[in-house]
Structure 1
Amino acid sequence: MTTTGTTSRTTTVADRLLDGPHGALPVRVYTPATTPVAGLVWAHGGGFARGDLDMHEADGVARGLAAAGVLVVSVDYRLVPPIDEDAARDGAGPGPMGVRGVRFPVPSEEVGFAFDWARGGAAGLDVAPDRWSIGGASAGGNLAAGASLRLRDAGTPVRSVVLAYPVAHYALPPHSDELAAKVAAVGGSFPPALVAAMNDNYLGHPDGPTSPYAFPGGRGVDDLRGLPPTFVLTSDTDGLRSSGEAYAAELAAAGVDVLLVREDGTRHGHLNQPDDPACARSIARLAAWLTTDALAGTSHEPPS
Structure 2
Amino acid sequence: MSEIHEVALKAAGYDYALRIYPAAEPNGSMLVWLHGGAFMFGTLDMPEADQVGRRLSAAGITVASVDYTLAPLDALDRLSPPDSDADFPSPEQLRAEADAAGPRARFPVASLQIVAAFDWAVDNAVRYGADPARVALGGASAGANLSAGAAMRLRDRATSLPSVLGLVYPSLHDGIVPANDELRALLRDVPPARIFTPEARAAINRNYLPDAGDPEGYAFPGGRNLVGLPPVLIVNAELDSLRASGEAFAAELATASVDVHVVRQRGAMHGYLNEVGHPAAERTLALLTDAVTQDYRER
Deviations 1:213-256, CA, capped at 9 Å, x for gaps: 0100022xxx1111000000111100110111111110110000
1:135–1:141 contact (8 Å) kept in structure 2? yes
Q: Where does residue 45 of structure 1 map in the other structure?
A: 36
Report the TM-score, using the length of structure 1 for normalisation: 0.85
Q: Where does residue 265 of structure 2 map in the other structure?
A: 263
1:12–1:32 contact (8 Å) kept in structure 2? no
With 114-123 and 274-283 compared, the bigger mean Cα shift is at: 114-123
Q: Where does residue 107 of structure 2 map in the other structure?
A: 104
Distance 1:191 1:106 in 2: 26
Count matched residues: 276
Shift of 1:12: 2.6
Structure 1 residues 224 and 276, CA gap change in structure 2 (3 angstroms): same
Percent identity, aligned pairs only, is 44
Shift of 1:297: 6.4
Q: Where does residue 216 of structure 1 map in the other structure?
A: 221
* Structure 1 segment 13-28 matched on structure 2, within 5 A: 13-28=4-19
Distance 1:153 1:210 in 2: 13
**1:198 equivalenced with 2:207 (yes/no):** no
Deviations 1:44-77, CA, capped at 9 Å, x for gaps: 0000000010000000011111111111000000
When the two chains are superposed, the root-mean-square deviation of aligned CA atoms in Å is: 2.2
Shift of 1:122: 8.2
Q: Where does residue 282 of structure 2 map in the other structure?
A: 280
Structure 1 segments of 4+ aligned residues over 6 angstroms from their partners: none
Decide which of 179, 186, 210 is 2:183's aligned counterpart: 179
Report the TM-score, using the length of structure 2 for normalisation: 0.86
Decide which of 155, 158, 162 is 2:162's aligned counterpart: 158
Structure 1 residues 235 and 217, CA gap change in structure 2 (3 angstroms): same
Distance 1:130 1:62 in 2: 20
Distance 1:297 1:51 in 2: 34
Q: Where does residue 72 of structure 1 map in the other structure?
A: 63
Decide which of 121, 134, 137 is 1:134's aligned counterpart: 137
Q: Where does residue 232 of structure 1 map in the other structure?
A: 234
Q: Where does residue 146 of structure 2 map in the other structure?
A: 143
Give ranges in structure 2 of 5+ residues lacking alignment.
Answer: 83-102
Give ranges in structure 1 of 5+ residues lacking alignment.
Answer: 1-6, 92-99, 300-304
1:22–1:110 contact (8 Å) kept in structure 2? no
Q: Where does residue 119 of structure 2 map in the other structure?
A: 116
For residue 128 of structure 1, give the secondary structure of its aligned residue in structure 2: strand
Deviations 1:176-227, CA, capped at 9 Å, x for gaps: 111111112214410111011100100133x4533310100022xxx11110
Distance 2:104 2:62 in 1: 32
